[in-house]
Amino acid sequence: MLKLLDGPQTMGRGPAFWGAAGLVLLAALAYPLFADPYDVGNFGYFFVWIFMALGLCLMWGLCGMLSFGQTFFFGLAGYGYGVIAIDLGNGPLGTMAGLAAGLVLAAAAAAVLGYFMIYGRINGVFFGIVTLSVTLALAYFLGQTAGPEWAIGKARLNGFNGMQGMDPLTFPGPDGGIVLEETLFYYVLILGLVMVYLLLRMLANSRFGNVLVAIREDAERAELLGYDVRRYQLAVFVLGSTLAGLSGVLYTSWGQFITPSSIGLPAASMPIIWVAFSGRTDLTATLVGTFLLLLGFQSLTIYSQETALVLMGALLMATVLFVPRGFVLGIGDLLARLTMRRRREPRPAAAAEV
C-alpha cells in the first residue's frame, strides 16, 4: 500500500520530497508554540478550505469533471451541522451528530444529483452549468429565509444574516466534552488534512485512480475497454462532494455561523481558481497552491474585498492563457527537470596522480 504514495499520478517522490514534506509538517506543528492561541485558531481557517479544493482536484483534475457545485455541498453540510447541533442541544452529542449528518447530507445529495447527471449523459460544459445552477438556487433560497417561519426545530435559518448559535465541534470527554477551539482545532485540522492527503494520494495511484485518468483522457475508449465509466464518475463525484461537505462542517464549527454568501457565485468560483492556479492534475500542487492563495486573498481582503476578487479573476485568466497546467505544478515540474539534469551531468574525472 505504501508504494502507492510514490505512484505516477502524483508529483513529488523519493526521500528528498518526503524529507521536505516532513520539515513543513514539523514547522506547522511547531507554530502554535510561538503564537497566540487566538491567532492559531484563525490560522486554521486556511486549512478548512483545502479539503474542498482536494475534492475538486479529484473530480476535475483526475476524472475531467468540472463542477461548480463545491459550495452547494459545502452549504448543505454546514447548515445541516448547524441545525442538528442546535436542535440536539450542542455539546458532544449535538456536534458529533451534526458532523455525521452534514457529511451524510452532502454525500446523499451528491449521489442523487450525480446519478441524474452522469447516467443522463450530461457532461462537458453542461455538467458545470447544472452544478452552478443548483448552487445559485440554494444560495437564493437560503437568502430569503429571514422570517421566523423559516426554522427547523429551534434552528432559525435567518436569511442573509445566516444561521448562528451552534457550538464548535466537541469530542466526548470529561466536564462537558473536549471543545475543538483555537490550538486544539488547529491540530485536529492538521491531522485530518495529512490523513486525507495521504489517502487521496494512494487512491490516485491505485487502479481506481488510473481508471479515472483514462476516463479524463478518453471516456469512450475507457468504456470500450470494459470499464463502467459512469460508476467511476459517480463514485468520484460523491467523494469529492463529501470533502466539500467536510469543509462546510469545519467552517461552521470554526466560526459558529454560516451565511448564504459562502455558497453564492463569488464563493462558488473560488475553488475553480484555487485548483486551476495550483495545477488541477496534482494533489500536492493543489494543497500548496490553495493554501498560498487563501493566505494572499485573506491579506488583500483586509484592505478591499473587491480588489481581492478582481485579482483572483485576473489570476484565473493568466493561468488559462499562459500556464494552463497551473503555476505550482509548473514550478514543481521545473524543479524536477533541474534535479534530473544535475543527476545526469557527468562528473569531472579525477586528476591523474603524479
| pLDDT tens by residue, 150-195 | 999 999 999 999 999 899 999 988 877 899 999 999 999 999 999 9
pLDDT of residue 342: 65
Q: Is residue 25 part of a domain?
A: no
- d(C-alpha 291, C-alpha 317), whole Å: 20
pLDDT digits (tens, 9 = 90+) for 24-60: 999 999 999 999 988 898 889 999 999 999 999 999 9
pLDDT digits (tens, 9 = 90+) for 306-332: 788 788 888 888 888 888 888 888 887
Average pLDDT for residues 248-260, to the nearest whole number? 95
Domain around 190: 36-262
4 or 23: which carries more pLDDT confidence? 23
E strands, the chain, in order:
151-152, 155-156, 163-164, 170-171, 178-179, 257-258
The confidence band for 343, taking pLDDT boundaries of 50, 70 and 90, is low
The pLDDT > 70 percentage for the chain reads 94
Residue 342 vs residues 333, 337, 339: alpha-carbon distances, Å: 14, 9, 5
Q: Is residue 340 part of a domain?
A: no
pLDDT of residue 319: 85
Cβ 186 vs Cβ 254: under 8 Å = no
Environment class of residue 34 by beta-carbon count within 10 Å: exposed (0-12), middle (13-18) or buried (19+)? exposed
Q: Is residue 344 part of a domain?
A: no
Q: Is residue 19 part of a domain?
A: no
Q: Grid cell 487512491 — which residue? A: 203
- d(C-alpha 28, C-alpha 63), whole Å: 31
Cβ 279 vs Cβ 286: under 8 Å = yes
Q: Is residue 289 part of a domain?
A: no
Please count the structural domains in the chain.
1
- Write down the pTM of the prediction: 0.93
In the chain, helix, strand, coil percent, each to 5? 75, 5, 25
pLDDT of residue 1: 66
The confidence band for 345, taking pLDDT boundaries of 50, 70 and 90, is low
Q: Grid cell 442538528 — which residue? A: 84
- 3-class DSSP state of 123: coil
pLDDT of residue 339: 65
Q: Is residue 31 part of a domain?
A: no
Residue 344 has pLDDT above 70, yes or no: no
Average pLDDT for residues 207-212, to the nearest whole number? 95
The phi, psi pair for 322, rounded to 5°, reads -115, -35
pLDDT of residue 352: 43
Q: Among 66, 47, 46, which Cα is nearest to 56's?
A: 66
Q: Among 244, 212, 210, 217, which Cα is nearest to 67's?
A: 244
